[in-house]
Amino acid sequence: MHVAVTGGSGFIGSHVVDHLLRAGHTVCVLDLKPPHRNDVDWRANDLRTPEEALEATRGCDAIMHLAAMANVNDVAAAPYESAELNLGATAALLDAARRHGISHFVFASTVWVYEASDDIHVDETTPLRPDGAKHLYTAEKIAGELLVNAYSQLFDLPVTVLRYGIPYGPRMREQLVIPIFIKKALHGEPLTISGDGKQYRNFIYVEDLADAHVRVLDRHATGTFNLEGPKEVAIIEVAEAINARIAGNGGIQRMEARAGDYQGRVVSRTHAKDVLDWEPATGFESGLDSTLDWFIKQWAPQPQPA
């Protein structure tokens, strides 16, 4: 299949591109930034504009839509611009998909949408309260899901919503907890955690996420799927694992607990297992090793020309 990957030059999209190519698909990267490899077609259209979204997706069989303002702090700092991208580009691409008769539209969402539910144990059938989103980013993802599903109903467009867990791995943003800890440990600085550090995250290795996209396409699987990580990892465990690997001698520094730290949900992966035969293949320890190796190489001083 010829697959358009929007945001294909970003963190997750770049891995999706790698996995699609490995599986024998051809790929077109739709992104304002150049892709991380030069053996793919690249179209630098601004996807917020309907005409550009239409032009960029010409000749494609499927669209994987990952382009977004993905950093919640950026969203809070530029609320209107975030809606223009996170909603506007989604609407523009859905309309392009309808007009081109695209056979499959895949939308990148997040398990953060479950903050709009009252339940702790959640799956794809868990209702989300209309007044439940606590952040604009979550509201935009829920609204994006609504648009995608309404297009499917109204125009018979095959769609899939993928709710990602908290991704990590090579090429991730440096402002997130894992790279921040790695950098501090490499500099011999203490790793700071708030409270007792027992607040947990369910990290998903980015290659496992990318693998799920190929499965969705190959099985033509429609509907909504949670792509959650293999296990809960407490922030204190992340800090200890990184210090142990780097022999970071700065230790761990505790700060006062932050109010309103993300209250984790227990997110079911059963549907993805049943339909996609997908489960995260990478344990946190080995994913952390690969991430660490990548950042160490990335930050190593570049040899100067003689």
Ligand X SMILES: NC(=O)c1ccc[n+]([C@@H]2O[C@H](COP(=O)([O-])OP(=O)(O)OC[C@H]3O[C@@H](n4cnc5c(N)ncnc54)[C@H](O)[C@@H]3O)[C@@H](O)[C@H]2O)c1
If one asks whether residue 136 binds ligand X (CB under 6 A), the answer comes out as: no
Phi, psi of 30 (to 5 degrees): -105, 105
Q: What angle do CA 20, 26, 32 make, to 5 degrees?
A: 85
Six token digits for residue 187: 């500099």
If one asks whether residue 246 binds ligand X (CB under 6 A), the answer comes out as: no
If one asks whether residue 85 binds ligand X (CB under 6 A), the answer comes out as: yes
| Residue with Cβ nearer ligand X (33 or 187) | 33
End-to-end CA distance of the chain: 46
Which amino acid is located at 202 in the chain? Answer: N
| Residue with Cβ nearer ligand X (85 or 191) | 85
User: Residue from 48, 184, 201, 213 that binds ligand X (CB under 6 A)?
Assistant: 48
User: Residue from 19, 20, 25, 31 that binds ligand X (CB under 6 A)?
Assistant: 31
Q: Find where tokens 């997750």 sit.
A: 12
Give the shortest CB-210-to-ligand X separation in angstroms.
11
CA distance 78 to 70: 12
CA distance 124 to 113: 11
User: Residue from 90, 110, 199, 291 that binds ligand X (CB under 6 A)?
Assistant: 110
| Residue with Cβ nearer ligand X (189 or 200) | 200
If one asks whether residue 239 binds ligand X (CB under 6 A), the answer comes out as: no
If one asks whether residue 135 binds ligand X (CB under 6 A), the answer comes out as: no
User: Closest Cα partner for 109 from 226, 278, 279, 280?
Assistant: 226
If one asks whether residue 105 binds ligand X (CB under 6 A), the answer comes out as: no
If one asks whether residue 76 binds ligand X (CB under 6 A), the answer comes out as: no
Q: Find where tokens 């190929």 sit.
A: 214
> By the criterion CB under 6 A, which residues form the site for ligand X?
7, 9-13, 30-33, 46-48, 66-68, 70, 85, 89, 108, 110, 164, 166-167
